[in-house]
C-alpha cells in the first residue's frame, strides 16, 4: 500500500529548535566541553478504554522538553528541562558541564565514543491517518461498538476495548554537525472478552491478536486490510467458550508449532535482551539481569539450530523501534545477530561499541534511545526478528508434520532468569495436535526450556507468508527505569521435544 507523505507536526517544527540548540552548543564549547548534543522532544499520548458498554478511561498527555548532554574532561554531564528556548538551553548547557565537573571524581573509565558520519535531514514514519487527527468521540464510538458486539453473544460476560496512541517528534543536533528532525506514530488497539463459569468457579479471558505497530488510525479500524477486526470479533466468543471447557494437558515433551503471535515474546526475552551488549558485559546486573551470550562466544556460541537466522533492524517497515536516526545521531540500519544458529552480533550504541573488540571498525549500529527528553539515552533494543525460509512451508504444513504436539497462539505470561537462560512462557491458546490435525484446545499449559536448548530444537520455520510483526509499546530497562517501544517479527515455527508443564498441577506444588 502506497503511503502518503506526511510532515512534521507544525506545533513542533515551529519551536525555536535551531536557536535553542545553537545557544546550548555554543555555551558548552565556551565551557570546554569536547562534545555536546541537544535533544528536543514533544511526545503526545492518548489512551482510551471502554469496559462493557461504557467509557471507563480517557487520558491525554503531552511531554515537551529539551536536554543537553556533554563530554567534559572525558566525563558525561546531562541536564534537562521543560522549556526549549535559547535561554533555557544555554542554562542547561551550563548545568550539564557542572554535572560533568562534579562527577569527574567518581568517573571510572574516560568516556569513549565511536566516530560516526554526520547526518542532516528529516524522517517521518509511514502511516495513512495520523491518529491525533481523529476526533476522540469517533474513537470512543468504535470501541463501544466492539465491546457491544462481543456482549451481544451470551457466552461473553464482560468485554474491554482500548486504544493507545503516541506521536513522537524529535530534534537532535551535536557539535559534530549532525542535525535531524524525525516524527513517528504508533498505535495499539486491543479487545478482550471474559467468560465466567459460576458452577465450575472458572474465569477465562481471550484478547485480540492485533499487535501494537508503527501505523496510523487505518490499522485501528482495519481499513488498511492488515488486521481483520470483524472476523476476530466474530470468532472470539466461540474460542473463549472452548477455552473455558478445555481439559488440562499432562506434562511431558511435545512438539510445538508456535505462531509468531506468541513467538515474538520469546524472541524478545531470550534473544533481544540477551544480545544487548551492555547486558552481556554485566552492566544491568543489579536490575534487569545480564546475559549468558557473553562476548567470548561471539562467532562461536551455538545459540540454536542451523535453521535459526535472527536480524536486528531499526529500519523495519512499521516497526516500533524503527527510526531515521537514534538518539546519538547514528543512522538506522539492519544487521545479523544470529546466523545459521551462531551468535554473530550485538546491539550497540556509540559507547558500548568501543568495548567490543570484534566490532567492525568500532561502529555503533544505532541503538541509543531515551524515553523522553528528560532521560539520558541508553542502549535499547532494535526490532529483533527471526527470519522466514524462502519458499518455506505454511502453518498447515508444519502442523501436518506433528504426531503429538501443540499449536501455540498469542502471548500471555512469561518468566525468565537474570541471564536470559532459563525461561517459561504461556499462551492465550494451546490447540492439541494429533496425527497432523488440530483436535481442540487444552489449558493450564506452559512451555519451558533453556535458551540454547529451546532454539536448538527449532526444526523448521515457515515461509514469508507466515511472517508477522509483533511487539510491545513499553519494554523496561535501566535505573531510573525507562520504557521503549519495540517490534519482533517471526514466521510460524516448529520446535521438537519441548518441555511442557501442567500449570495447575505445578501450582498445587
Question: What is residue 141's DSSP assignment?
Answer: H
Domains and CATH numbers, the chain: 10-245 (3.30.2290.10), 252-508 (no CATH)
Residues 6 or more apart from 175 whose CB is under 8 A from it?
Answer: 25, 28, 29, 33, 35, 36, 37
pLDDT computed for residue 286 by the predictor: 80
Q: What percent of the chain has pLDDT over 70?
A: 97
Is 90 exceeded by the pLDDT of residue 404?
Answer: yes
The HSE-up count of residue 87 (CA atoms within 13 Å, CB side) is: 1
Percent of the chain with pLDDT over 90: 93
| Residue 198, pLDDT score | 87
* Euclidean distance between CA atoms 380 and 17, whole angstroms: 25
Cell of 104: 569527574
Spell out a b/e string for 111-147, using b for 16 or more CB atoms within 10 Å of the CB, else e.
Answer: beebebeebeeebbbbbbbebbebeeeebbebbbebb
Q: Cis omega (within 30 of 0) on the bond before 16?
A: no
Q: What is the pLDDT of residues 316-335, one digit of tens each?
A: 999 999 999 999 999 999 99
* Stated pTM of the model: 0.96
What is residue 508's predicted lDDT score, i.e. its pLDDT? 64
Output the average pLDDT for the chain. Answer: 96
Cα–Cα dist 24/28, whole Å:
6
94-108 confidence digits (pLDDT tens): 999 999 999 999 998
Q: Looking at residue 507, what is its pLDDT?
A: 64
Among 241, 225, 392, 379, which Cα is nearest to 314's? Answer: 379
pLDDT class for 284, splitting at 50, 70, 90? confident
Average pLDDT estimate for 76-83: 98
Residue 358 has a pLDDT of: 58
Contact 465/424 with Cβ under 8 angstroms?
no
Residues 6+ apart with CB under 8 A from 363: 114, 116, 348, 353
Could you give the 3-state DSSP secondary structure of residue 35? strand
469-to-61, 269, 347 alpha-carbon distances in Å: 27, 16, 19
Grid cell of 117 as nine digits: 558520519
Per-residue pLDDT of 117-175, as tens digits, reads 999 999 999 999 999 999 999 999 999 999 999 999 999 999 999 999 999 999 999 99
Taken in order 5, 10, 12, 15, the sign of the CA dihedral is positive
The sign one gets for the Cα dihedral 211, 380, 60, 192 is positive
Query: Smallest Cα–Cα separation from 183: which of 121, 117, 119?
Result: 121
- Distance in angstroms (rounded) separating the CA atoms of residues 485 and 482: 10
Amino acid at each position: 500500500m502506497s503511503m502518503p507523505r506526511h510532515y512534521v507536526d507544525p506545533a513542533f517544527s515551529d519551536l525555536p529548535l535551531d536557536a535553542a540548540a545553537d545557544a546550548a552548543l555554543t555555551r558548552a564549547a565556551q565551557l570546554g566541553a569536547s562534545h555536546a548534543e541537544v535533544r528536543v522532544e514533544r511526545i503526545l499520548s492518548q489512551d482510551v478504554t471502554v469496559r462493557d458498554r461504557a467509557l471507563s478511561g480517557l487520558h491525554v498527555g503531552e511531554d515537551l522538553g529539551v536536554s543537553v548532554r556533554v563530554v567534559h574532561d572525558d566525563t558525561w554531564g546531562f541536564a534537562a528541562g521543560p522549556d526549549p528556548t535559547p535561554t533555557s538551553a544555554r542554562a542547561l548547557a551550563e548545568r550539564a558541564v557542572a554535572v560533568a565537573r562534579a562527577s569527574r571524581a567518581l568517573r571510572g573509565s574516560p568516556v569513549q565514543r565511536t566516530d560516526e558520519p554526520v547526518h542532516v535531514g528529516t524522517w517521518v514514519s509511514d502511516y495513512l491517518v495520523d491518529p491525533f487527527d481523529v476526533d476522540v468521540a469517533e474513537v470512543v464510538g468504535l470501541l463501544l461498538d466492539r465491546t457491544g458486539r462481543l456482549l451481544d453473544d451470551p457466552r461473553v460476560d464482560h468485554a474491554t476495548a482500548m486504544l493507545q496512541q503516541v506521536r513522537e517528534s524529535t530534534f537532535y543536533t551535536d557539535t559534530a554537525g549532525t542535525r535531524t528532525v524525525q516524527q513517528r506514530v504508533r498505535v495499539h488497539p486491543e479487545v478482550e472478552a471474559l467468560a465466567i463459569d459460576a458452577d465450575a468457579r472458572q474465569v477465562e479471558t481471550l484478547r485480540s491478536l492485533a499487535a501494537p505497530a508503527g501505523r496510523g488510525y487505518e490499522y485501528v479500524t482495519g481499513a488498511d486490510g492488515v488486521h481483520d477486526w470483524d472476523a476476530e470479533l466474530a470468532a472470539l466468543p466461540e474460542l473463549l467458550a472452548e477455552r473455558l471447557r478445555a481439559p488440562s494437558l499432562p506434562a511431558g515433551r511435545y512438539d510445538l508449532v508456535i505462531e509468531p503471535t506468541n513467538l515474538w515474546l520469546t524472541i524478545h526475552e531470550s534473544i533481544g535482551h540477551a544480545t544487548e551488549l551492555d547486558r552481556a558485559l554485566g552492566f544491568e546486573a543489579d536490575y534487569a539481569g545480564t546475559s549468558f551470550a557473553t562476548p567470548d562466544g561471539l562467532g562461536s556460541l551455538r545459540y540454536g539450530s542451523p535453521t535459526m537466522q535472527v536480524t536486528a533492524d531499526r529500519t523495519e517497515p512499521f516497526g516500533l523501534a524503527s527510526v531515521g536516526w537514534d538518539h546519538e545521531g547514528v543512522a538506522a540500519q539492519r544487521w545479523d545477530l544470529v546466523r545459521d544458529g551462531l551468535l554473530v552480533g550485538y546491539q550497540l550504541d556509540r559507547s558500548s561499541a568501543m568495548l567490543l573488540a570484534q566490532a567492525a571498525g568500532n561502529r555503533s549500529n544505532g541503538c541509543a534511545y531515551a524515553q523522553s527528553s528528560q532521560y539520558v539515552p541508553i542502549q535499547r533494543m532494535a526490532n529483533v526478528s527471526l527470519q522466514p525460509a524462502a519458499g518455506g512451508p505454511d502453518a498447515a504444513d508444519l502442523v501436518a508434520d506433528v504426531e503429538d504436539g501443540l499449536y501455540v497462539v498469542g502471548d500471555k505470561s512469561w518468566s525468565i532468569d537474570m541471564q536470559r537462560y532459563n525461561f517459561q512462557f504461556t499462551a492465550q491458546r494451546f490447540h492439541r495436535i494429533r496425527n497432523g490435525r488440530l483436535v481442540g484446545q487444552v489449558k493450564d499449559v506452559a512451555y519451558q526450556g533453556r535458551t540454547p536448548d529451546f532454539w536448538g530444537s527449532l526444526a523448521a520455520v515457515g515461509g514469508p507468508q507466515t511472517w508477522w510483526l509483533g511487539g510491545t509499546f513499553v519494554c523496561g530497562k535501566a535505573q531510573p527505569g525507562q520504557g521503549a517501544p519495540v517490534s519482533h517479527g517471526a514466521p510460524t515455527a516448529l520446535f521438537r521435544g519441548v518441555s511442557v508443564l501442567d500449570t495447575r498441577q505445578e501450582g498445587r506444588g
